Amino acid sequence: MSDHLPVDPALVARMAAASSPAAMLRALPLPLLISVRARGGACSRVAAALAVEALPGHGPMVSSPVGRVIWLRPDEWLVEAAITPRDALLAALSQAVGDGTADAEGAVVELSASRHVLELSGPRTRDVLAAMCTLDLHPRAFPVGHATQTLLARAPVLL
């Protein structure tokens, strides 16, 4: 069973209308997205709960049996979970940071319903993104497997 949320049919239609053979935009099913804030010893406990050696720093994403772990800021990571029991993962991460206790070293918040996941593909993808943001998207500056936050047409996004 998947924890993915269904894609809004109206959004699918708008993405199709905005696409061309040079740059195709489509909405993807929404994965389980979890914000994990952690500091101190909680970082190693969160890494253990996600079955990764260490939480990633700025740039490269880390793959885990759970899904992908993406650095957002010095004490925050986004977990994009693949097929996994939602409640069990949230409980394990909350326990790792001590969420809800007096000596908590972080917090865990599910973000799934507050985000959209879009895929832009095609031969002009980089041109479209470059026209909308100020990042250098050349592969030597932004290699495959890296993530960063930016603005696209004044909307906050995670590339």
CATH code of 60's domain? 3.30.70.1520
> What pLDDT is recorded for position 20?
85
SS3 label, residue 15: helix
DSSP string computed for 114-159: G--EEEEESTTHHHHHHHH--S--STTTS-TTEE-EEEETTEEEE-
Of residues 94 and 10, more confidently modeled = 94
52-71: burial string, b at 16+ Cβ within 10 Å, e else: beebbeeeebbebebbbbbb
Q: What is the pLDDT of residues 99-157, one digit of tens each?
A: 878 788 999 999 988 888 888 899 998 888 888 888 898 889 989 899 988 888 788 88
Looking at the fold, whether 128 and 85 belong to one and the same domain comes out as no
Asked whether residue 59 carries a pLDDT value surpassing 50, the answer given is yes
Looking at the fold, whether 18 and 83 belong to one and the same domain comes out as yes
Looking at the fold, whether 93 and 148 belong to one and the same domain comes out as no
pLDDT band, residue 83 (cuts 50/70/90): low
Which contacts of 97-103 are long-range, i.e. CB under 8 A and separated by 24 or more positions?
Answer: 97/36, 97/37, 97/38, 97/42, 97/45, 97/46, 98/42
Looking at the fold, whether 49 and 78 belong to one and the same domain comes out as yes
> What pLDDT is recorded for position 49?
95
Looking at the fold, whether 94 and 111 belong to one and the same domain comes out as yes
Looking at the fold, whether 73 and 140 belong to one and the same domain comes out as no
Asked whether residue 72 carries a pLDDT value surpassing 90, the answer given is yes
Of residues 28 and 94, more confidently modeled = 94
pTM as predicted = 0.84
Q: Residue 4 in contact with residue 30, Cβ under 8 Å?
A: yes
Q: How many separate domains does the chain show?
A: 2
> What pLDDT is recorded for position 107?
94
Looking at the fold, whether 107 and 74 belong to one and the same domain comes out as yes
Q: Where in the sequence is the domain holding 20, given as residue range(s)?
A: 9-122
Asked whether residue 10 carries a pLDDT value surpassing 90, the answer given is no
Asked if residue 89 is part of any domain, the answer here is: yes
SS3 label, residue 110: strand
**Average of per-residue pLDDT across 77-85:** 84
Looking at the fold, whether 110 and 35 belong to one and the same domain comes out as yes
Looking at the fold, whether 103 and 29 belong to one and the same domain comes out as yes
Looking at the fold, whether 143 and 85 belong to one and the same domain comes out as no
Tell the burial category of 21 from Cβ atoms under 10 Å away from its Cβ (0-12, 13-18, 19+).
exposed
Q: Nearest CA to 117 among 78, 76, 85?
A: 78
Asked if residue 1 is part of any domain, the answer here is: no
Asked whether residue 3 carries a pLDDT value surpassing 80, the answer given is no
Asked if residue 29 is part of any domain, the answer here is: yes
CA distance 35 to 23: 30
DSSP annotation of 38 reads: E
> What pLDDT is recorded for position 33?
93
Asked if residue 3 is part of any domain, the answer here is: no
Looking at the fold, whether 74 and 104 belong to one and the same domain comes out as yes
Q: Which two tokens stand for residue 91?
A: 């409980």
Looking at the fold, whether 112 and 140 belong to one and the same domain comes out as no
Asked whether residue 76 carries a pLDDT value surpassing 90, the answer given is yes
Q: What is the pLDDT of residues 23-48, one digit of tens each?
A: 888 888 888 999 999 999 999 999 99
